[in-house]
Amino acid sequence: MPEIPEMREHFANLFTRPLPAHVTASETTLGGRPALELRPAASGVAGEDVLLYLHGGGFVVGSARATAHLPAELLRHLDGRAVSLDYRLAPEHPFPAAPDDCLAAYRELLDSGADPRRLVLAGDSAGAMLAVVTMLRARDEGLPMPAAAVLFSPVADLTLGGTSVRTKDGVDPIFTPADLGWFFERYLDGAEAAAPGASPLFADLAGLPPLLIQAGSSELLLDDAVRLAGRAAADEVTVTLEVAARQPHVFQHDGTSAEAVAALERAGRFLSTRLHDEKAAA
């Protein structure tokens, strides 16, 4: 594997792209961590909807800016703003630093006046896992749940127990099982991989808000998404699972593909619908 600074630079170069014209970005802080706030560019004034976005990168690479195009696309469907968080990364800051940061960010949004009925979460890959863990920890601490969450290719099982980790080896164009193990080992730093706080597949998901899970059929982590959806359904959570044929991990990154554009459109509409339902019920 390359050196970690080189990996982070490569990830940033690979994914960072100009933000769409419909949003403006500004640096801020949330939960004691740097963050990027996205707002509609047209008027400069956003409504009360808030999207907390948690980026992917295997808990080791990635940043709020590198994947900001994803929350920017979701923001098209919201009347408000999106905040992408730069949580601490491993191996300098192993588990539970990242979930601690994400929970602190969620708590600050609530403490600063965000209405949980107008608050939604989203994330990709490791960030999608952190979105689930954040909601579980918030639930356990008695904090209100957000209106909904969107999970792009979520990591759910750090034990690498999914069948697709083996059956999609050589099909996945991005990862090998050894790659995933390398990232997860640096994140866990000796912590128990099967602990519910580390792998939400093994947690009680009862009480979570409606979830939309999207994954590609070609990814090693396909079974993480499938099993997470099944666990959520068994725990009486409203969940929608979408699997895009012959698509890789977080295929939504490719803004030029019809599959990515359509998936982001559905995800944005899902959040908008849940927010509309919450507003109507208020």
Q: Based on the residue annotation, tell me whether 112 is a catalytic residue of this protein.
A: no
CA 137/CA 133 separation, integer angstroms: 6
Single out the residue of 127, 111, 138, 141 nearest to residue 52, CA to CA.
127
Q: Are 233 and 263 in contact (CB under 8 A)?
A: no
Question: Among residues 63, 125, 153, 199, which one is catalytic?
Answer: 125
Q: Are 119 and 62 in contact (CB under 8 A)?
A: no
SS (H, E, C) 124-189: ECHHHHHHHHHHHHHHHCCCCCCCEEEEECCCCCCCCCCCHHHHCCCCCCCCCHHHHHHHHHHHHC
Give the N- to C-terminal CA distance of the chain in Å, as an integer: 51
Instruction: Check residue 41 and report its DSSP letter.
Output: T
The catalytic residues are 125
